Amino acid sequence: MLVGAGVWAVVGLIGPGGYEKVPECAVAEGETLDELVPEAEAEVDDRIDGMEQEGREGEQCRWASGEDSAHTPSAVRVVMVRTGTEGGSAGEEAAAELLDGASQQQERTALSGLGDEAYSWYDAEVEPLGWGCVGARTANLYVETCYSSAADYGRTEPIPDADMVDGAKRLAREVLTAAEEGKG
C-alpha cells in the first residue's frame, strides 16, 4: 500500500501533461529570433491582463530591429496563453478554441508535426507589411508566432508572404520546444 501511495504522489506532481504556468518571453530568444530579426530589441514583454478570472494566464512579446540597425526592418511577435488551472481535457479544449478563434478568420493551412494541432496564415491587413503567422496548441498551451519583414530599408516593400509564414513556423517550432523543456 505504501508503495502505491508513493507512486500516486509522483504522478500527481508531474500532472497529466498540461502546462501549470505560461512560459516567459525568453523561450523565443534563440537562434531563430536572431536570424529573423538581427540585432533585435525587445519592445514588449508583458503579462496579458484580465485572464486570471477565466483560469488563464498569458504572455505577450515583441522584438523589432532597432532604429540604428544595419539590417532591413523586421519584427516578431509571440503570444502564449495557458488555459485551465489543472490541464486535462478542459484546458486542452480551451486552448483549441483560442487556436480556432485566431485562425478561422484567415485563409489558414493545417500544419503537421507542430504541437498537437497548428495552422499557418498570412495577414495582409496589418499595415504596413503584413504578418506571416502560426498558431499552435500543445496540451493546454496556445502559442501564436508572427513575423514581418521589409525587403527595403524604407519599409515600402515586404519580403514574400511565404517567407514570413516560414519564419513564423521556424519560430513556433523553437518556442514550443523551449516551452516543453521548461514546462511547469
pLDDT digits (tens, 9 = 90+) for 27-75: 999 999 999 999 999 999 999 987 776 778 999 999 999 877 888 999 9
Q: What is the pLDDT of residue 181?
A: 87
Residue range 82-103: average pLDDT? 84
Q: Which residue has 508503495 as its cell numbers? A: 3
Helix (H, G, I), strand (E, B) or coil at 16: coil
Measured in whole angstroms, the distance separating CA 89 from the mean position of its chain's CA atoms is 20
* Amino acid at position 134, single letter: V
In tens, the pLDDT along 98-144 reads: 999 888 888 999 999 999 999 999 998 887 899 999 999 999 999 99
Please choose, from the candidates 88, 97, 94, 99, the residue with its C-alpha nearest in 3D space to the C-alpha of residue 133.
99
Q: What is the pLDDT of residue 16?
A: 54
pTM confidence score: 0.86
| Contact predicate 143/102, CB 8 Å | no
The fold of the 18-181 domain, in CATH, is: Protein Transport Mog1p; Chain A (3.40.1000)
Number of residues written out for the chain: 184
In whole angstroms, give the CA distance from residue 143 to residue 172: 7
Domain range list for the chain: 18-181
Quote the DSSP letter at residue 169. H
